[in-house]
Amino acid sequence: MTTPNRAIIWDMDGVLVDSGDLHYEAWREVAATELDIDFTRELFDRIFGMSNVDSLYHLLGNDANPEFVERVGWQQDDVYRRLAAERVQPIPGAFELVRACDAAGWRQAVATSAPAETLDLILDKFDLRQHFDVAVSADEVARAKPDPALFILAAERLGTPREMCVVIEDSLNGVRAARAAGMACLAVTTTHDRSALDGANHIVDSLYDVTQADLAALLGGAQHSRER
């Protein structure tokens, strides 16, 4: 039985699944044919967590052709899904925590900057859909993280007050979006080190370190980052 007055909102890439290297491969493949830039790992680290549209404007400038941006963004998604269908792996501890929180009555949502087709691939590949009350993709909001729209929509669909939501994130843009939404944020250092996650209420190096008591404690409204 779910408890409507508390909820967990999960990011997907870097939180539920270890997708960074596959996204990097996809960007490298697309950049080699479509973008006149040297797509380095440093560039990738700067855009990881953004939507593809925002990533491309960041890489090419705000005067980039919108039709080109949309086409290349979809191309990157297609390449990533081809790779992910065979090779994407769970983040250690993530699925175990999802299942435990579901069994304990937490309401849960996944809210991702990825498009719906990619979200569906991950939920179905790992049989996760049954554990989430709500799934929200970037297709459903006008503005990407660090704008809070994605998390606000997830909370509305959950029917849970924002102050009773804990967001689990791995990027600074995600942390900023959670805090702008008025939600507590637990950050995990799967894709960024602790210094890049400033603003999270709590930072861990592994989701195996997270208990339901830790998540419940975050709903007390802590205002400052705490480190384990």
Quick one: average pLDDT of 41-64?
90
Encoded tokens for 122: 């991950």
Encoded tokens for 190: 């799967």
Mean pLDDT for the chain overall? 92
pLDDT, residue 48, reads 82
pLDDT, residue 221, reads 54
Encoded tokens for 191: 């894709």
Quick one: average pLDDT of 60-86?
96
Q: What is the pTM of this model?
A: 0.90
Give ∠ CA 141-146-149 in degrees, rounded to 5.
30
Are domains 3-18+89-227 and 20-87 of this chain identical in fold? no
For residue 165, pLDDT beyond 70: yes
- Fold of the 3-18+89-227 domain: Rossmann fold (3.40.50)
Q: Give the whole-angstrom CA distance, residue 59 versus residue 86.
A: 28
11, 13, 133, 170: the catalytic one is: 11
Catalytic residue check, 11 = yes
Write down the domain spans for the chain: 3-18+89-227, 20-87
The count of other CB atoms within 10 Å of the CB of residue 211 is: 11
Picking from 40-49, 92-101, 133-142, which range would have the lowest pLDDT averaged per residue? 40-49
Contact 79, 29 (CB under 8 A): yes
Q: Provide CATH code, domain 20-87.
A: 1.10.150
Q: Give the whole-angstrom CA distance, residue 102 versus residue 47.
A: 31
Is the N-terminal amide bond of 90 cis, ω within 30° of 0?
no
